Structure 1
Amino acid sequence: MIRVLIVDDHTIFRSGLKRLFSDENDISVVDEASNSTDALDKIRKHELDLVLMDVSMAGRSGLEALESLRIEFPQLPVLILSMYSEEQYAVVAMKAGANGYLSKDAEPAELIGAIRKIAAGGRYLTNRGTELMLMQFSGKDDRPTHQKLSTREFEIMRMIANGISLTEIGERLNISVKTVSTYRTRILEKIGVKSNAELAKFALRNEIV
């Protein structure tokens, strides 16, 4: 039996997943969580085989939660299920420690197959996701600019684009404001913009926020 924790801030979506999995003899939803803090508490509480996590949640994002999760539970399989396409998040999620990435518009059979594969010790990406990952190791890198950022740079970029202050970002990531500012400068240079407003426009244009 594959014991699953569902982490998503939409109650209706969680309910839909539970109904979907109820038809499968080898998948059991042990619990659910609506935010990253609740998720970590329940991961500590239960014996789990896989965490199914949304990347975009109120408060700390799925990527932030994944970073904390990997510190405490480095071997626990995590499948990121997101409304964002693979071009936006797949590479970043896999670099952050996810075992798979799937868009929420995927067919139910594909989701169930991905869960089974990851729970068995594998990884899951669609053909496009695999192509994006392989681009990193080839001489030709056609990935969008934001996918070339480190995981931490990407997460700080999202926070800045969402209007979160440098002070609050530092508090959430447990780093100094000076360090956040250094990251901001590096991000602006890599993306090729000069201000937070331009960064926000870039994020909207690339459907990152």
Structure 2
Amino acid sequence: MIDVLLVDDHTIFRSGVQRLLLDESDIRVTSEASNGVEALDQIRHRRFDVVLLDINMEGRNGLDVLASIRHAQPGLPVLMLSMYPEEQYALVAVQGGAAGYVAKDAEAAELALAIRKVAAGGQYLSARAAPLVRDQLQGKDERPAHQRLTVREHQIMLMMLKGMSLTEIGEEMLISVKTVSTHRTNIFEKLGVASTAELVLYAVRQGMIH
């Protein structure tokens, strides 16, 4: 039996995933968490075979939580879930240590397949995402600028888009405000924006936020 920890800040979505997986005889959601703090606490005290982790959560985003899971339990497979398309975050997730990436609009059969694959020690990317990630790793990268940020830059960008201050981001990520400021400067330069307001506008135009 594959025991799954489901981490998502939307109760309705967690309930939906639970129902989808009830038909799978070898997979069960044995626990849930609504944020990174709860998830890490459970990982430290319970055994799981796979973590299903949403990227876009309140507080610490999924990419940041992924880094903490990798530190706490290096061998625990993490399958990222996201409302964003694969070309937007699949490579960033894999580079951050995720075992796979599944879009939230995927069919139940695909989710179950992905869970089984990463639980067995493999990596899962959809048929659409796999060639995109391969091309990106080989330097054939035609993605827009925000999809070419580093994992840490992605984490900070997501926090900025949630309205967090540099101080709050530093405290959340356990880094200095000066380091956060340096990352912010790099993000602005790479995206061609000059302020947080322009960053938000860029994110809206790219469909990253609504």
Mapped contact 1:132–1:143 kept (Cα < 8 A): no
CA contact (8 A) 1:88 1:206 kept: no
Superposed CA deviations along residues 147-174 of structure 1, whole A, max 9, x for unmatched, are 2111001111122222211111111111
Partner deviation per Cα, 1:165-194 (whole Å, 9 max, x = no partner): 111111111111111111111111111112
Q: Which residue of 1 aligns with 2:98?
A: 98
Note the residue ranges of structure 2 that are not aligned, 5 or more in a row: none
Matches within 5 A, 1:48-59: 48-59=48-59
Structure 1 unaligned runs (5+)?
none
How far 1:17 moved relative to its partner?
1.5
Deviation at 1:132, TM superposition (A): 2.3
- 1:112-145 CA distance string (max 9 Å, x none): 1111111111111112211221122334321221
After superposition, give the CA deviation of every residue in 1:66-96 in whole Å (9 maximum; x if it has no partner): 1111111111001111111112211111111
Q: CA deviation at 1:208?
A: 2.4
Consecutive aligned runs of 4 or more in structure 1 exceeding 2 Å deviation: 135-140
Partner of 2:203: 203
CA contact (8 A) 2:2 2:28 kept: yes
CA distance, structure 1, for counterparts of residue 20 and residue 75 of structure 2: 26
| TM-score when normalising by structure 2 | 0.95
Corresponding residue SS for 1:3 = strand
Per-residue CA shift, 1:30-73, capped at 9, x if unaligned?
11111110011111121111001111111111111111111111
CA RMSD of aligned residues (A): 1.3
* Number of residue equivalences: 209
**Contact 1:67–1:97 at 8 Å: present in 2 too?**
yes
Describe how 1:1-209 pairs up with structure 2 within 5 A: 1-209=1-209
| Contact persistence 2:61–2:159 (CA under 8 A) | no
Structure 2 Cα separation of the partners of residues 32 and 140 of structure 1? 38
Q: Is the 8 A contact 2:6 2:29 kept in 1?
A: yes
Alignment partner of 1:181: what SS? helix
Aligned-partner Cα distance in 2 for 1:140–1:53: 28
Identity %: 59
**Range with bigger deviation, 197-206 or 61-70:** 197-206
Change in 2 beyond 3 A, CA 1:24/1:94: same
1:206, distance to aligned residue in structure 2 (A): 1.7
Q: Write the distance in 2 (CA, Å) between the matches of 1:109 and 1:162.
A: 33
Q: Is the 8 A contact 2:153 2:183 kept in 1?
A: yes
User: Please, what TM-score do these two structures have when normalized by structure 1?
Assistant: 0.95
Assess if the C-alpha contact under 8 Å between 1:169 and 1:180 holds in 2.
yes
Q: Secondary structure at the match of 1:127?
A: coil
One-letter identity of the residue aligned with 2:58: A
> What is the alpha-carbon distance in structure 1 between the residues aligned to residue 133 and residue 22 of structure 2?
33
Please give the alpha-carbon distance, in whole angstroms, between the structure 2 residues aligned to 1:72 and 1:138.
Answer: 30
